[in-house]
Structure 1
């Protein structure tokens, strides 16, 4: 793939955002979602390295990819190119997340200790360390509203932080609280506990109080994932409209829950095996990951990898379900590489996926350049 995107179309959910250099006509996502094609791919710095996390900045102009060769790749989306590779050989890197501050990146460590580190991408220097976890950090979530963020760890804690302070703002002690997510309003914090097969919802302003709701997933796991109950959860994500909460799994498919009452809305089926990434509870030694499915910005669609297959699957949450809430993909998008990670750009009609390399996807009628 030697084509690079020269211009991106805003998603329908981002019509009020700042325009790009020349503001193109906005197309509803439903009209173009089936037409995405893989346009350009970028290899990691080592041929045997894997990408372990993907994250777009708030404006959708940059993408950060953490790799298990202890580097972070930074991509300029509008120019369609990788702009720099930042090494973190001493500390390692996983779960690289943009903050709301331009050119600042937060990430978990994989070496030396279990601290979180705030990186200035311009100077390639660390601004602050956040120490307190005593075991591997399994998930990171930035508040959509401010500089607060939360981290989950294998030390059975969820810790609340603020970017301006090295000290933790608070801590929750729970059983295997390995996945965390904020709702779009930043008022609700969801925590997925794998060993108890439950998702807990906290009022983030009063996170030291008991959860105001708890979703029991044991009945759903017994129905859809009986062989991996409580073991193969890989990511937790609210849809941008706040209606859905998605819990992805390593192998069978993904749970889409009603974000208010926890009832199953759909089980996304059709995957062809595992994407080859370790869930937080895994002891297989597979490369790390962050889940292989993501909501589109309008909340209607879910895009995800096909496990062992080289396709991207597309589920439409407005389509009728089969018996027992099963929802099958409406189409597959072809690619030559496995999709172990995937993320939809929050501002533009563009998708990034990754495994051993990072792939940019665009609708088939998007402008191209020969860069």
Structure 2
């Protein structure tokens, strides 16, 4: 994880053909290229069905591969350097959501959407399942893997957070909380944050002593009353620590996103600029909307947040080093042009590229790197 915490990021050139191996260009600071991102590669779903949506995206630790899941009950793997889809694994019986790479090569963990509410560990080499993790009695809403070990946590609509280890099918522990739909580890893997929507709070646990009471609780009710009064206590879609450990992102479905001080819980900025909702039911579905995982994320240097524009196609970029206005409102520094809605977005942990998705998956690269690779 060390590389992902560096502000210097390598930039892979855009793929030119599916068979040609590419060599990454020299590294560049995110701040040097943040305004120049453009879509460079589009991937249609495995089935040409306009009713299917991508529901999750995740990069592996090295940034070489991307895994997606969709409501077509398919898991897809993409090679970043070659710019192509390399594997499509169907999960027709149990469905697939929240597909996540583990720290082990070619292993993917995902939640079920059909039959039961178990988690499944998939071996990509033989497309067989290594292990099932059973225990939840309702849909899983979030999977968070520890940055430093094979531990992971799962949140569920059954009002529990289960703690697991990849080597055992039995849960190592369980927390019972009100609507604990989102969770995130801090970069050091010591702190586990759990977002409880109905109580408008974020609970911080010492992961080594998770059976103890939370050592801190952030009350977001006053901030919701001020910035998101019509969706108070609901519509949180994303919980993420920045790689420098200083900030905590609480993404919302409609109004904007909260940036909190990760130590004190104070509001540092409220990110605005979007128009409406991305049309996803993240992290839970009550209206029949497609599932998702939120539409905002940090860059690896912790300085920027990239996010969708709601029902508009542009991608927004916020610079956390900029000073918010007197109401702690922060406007985006730029809009990156796009032709499709961004319902989810992930920034590569190692290279200066990102992926967005709605019905299709799109790879983005800085425009200057595109030109350099064509010379």
Instruction: Give the 3 Å change call, closer, same or farther, for CA 188–111 of structure 1 in structure 2.
Output: same
Alignment of 1:328-347 (within 5 A): 328-347=331-350
In 1, are the aligned partners of 2:9 and 2:27 still within 8 Å (CA)? no
Q: Give the Cα–Cα distance (whole angstroms) in 2 for the partners of residues 306 and 61 of structure 1.
A: 27
Q: Which runs of 5+ in 2 are unaligned?
A: 13-20
Partner SS state of residue 266, structure 1:
strand
Q: Is the 8 A contact 1:149 1:162 kept in 2?
A: yes
Q: Which residue of 2 aligns with 1:208?
A: 211
**Separation in 2, partners of 1:332, 1:12:** 25
Post-superposition offset of 1:131: 0.2
After superposition, residues 230-309 of structure 1 pair within 5 angstroms as: 230-309=233-312
C-alpha deviation, 1:21, in angstroms: 7.4
Match of 1:355 in 2: 358
Q: CA deviation at 1:280?
A: 3.2
Residue of structure 2 in register with 1:141 after alignment: 144
SS at match of 1:202: strand
The correspondence for 1:54, drawn from 49, 53, 57, is 57
SS at match of 1:275: coil
- The superposition leaves residues 195-252 of structure 1 with CA deviations (integer Å, 9 ceiling, x where unpaired) of 0000000000000000000000000000000000011000100000000000000011
1:243 & 1:274 partners in 2: Cα distance?
Answer: 27
- Kindly indicate whether the alpha-carbon contact (under 8 Å) linking 2:218 and 2:265 is maintained by their aligned counterparts in 1: yes
The superposition leaves residues 170-208 of structure 1 with CA deviations (integer Å, 9 ceiling, x where unpaired) of 000000000000000000000000000000000000000
Q: CA RMSD in A?
A: 1.8
Q: Is the 8 A contact 2:52 2:70 kept in 1?
A: yes
Please list, as runs of the form range in 1=range in 2, the aligned pairs for 1:1-371 lying within 5 A after superposition: 13=6, 22=23, 24-46=25-47, 47=49, 48-367=51-370
TM-score normalized by the length of structure 2: 0.93
Partner of 1:6: none
Give the Å deviation of 1:11.
7.5
Query: Hey, what's the Cα distance between the residues in 2 that align with 1:215 and 1:294?
Result: 20
Q: CA deviation at 1:45?
A: 1.9
- For residues 80-111 of structure 1, give each alpha carbon's deviation from its aligned partner in whole angstroms, at most 9, with x where no partner exists: 11111110001100000000000000000000
C-alpha deviation, 1:33, in angstroms: 0.6
Q: Once the 2 structures are TM-superposed, how far is the Cα of residue 24 of structure 1 from its aligned partner?
A: 3.2
Instruction: Encode CA deviations 1:260-301: one digit per residue, 9 max, x unaligned.
Output: 000000000011100000133541110000000000000000
Question: Alpha-carbon deviation of 1:12?
Answer: 8.1
- Inter-partner Cα distance in structure 2 for 1:88 and 1:13: 37
CA displacement at 1:13 relative to structure 2: 1.8
For residue 122 of structure 1, report the CA deviation from its aligned partner.
1.0
Offset from partner CA, 1:309-356 (integer Å, 9 cap, x none): 000000000111112100000000011110000000000000100000
Contact 2:310 2:341 in 1 (8 A): yes
DSSP-derived class of the 1:191 partner: strand
Unaligned runs of at least 5 residues, structure 1: 1-9
Match of 1:3 in 2: none
Aligned mates of 2:231, 2:246 — CA distance in 1: 27
Aligned residue pair count: 360
Secondary structure of residue in 2 paired with 1:27: strand
User: Is the partner of 2:225 in helix, strand or coil?
Assistant: helix
Q: Whole-Å Cα distance in 2 between the matches of residues 293 and 199 of structure 1?
A: 18
d(CA) in 2 for partners of 1:11, 1:120: 25
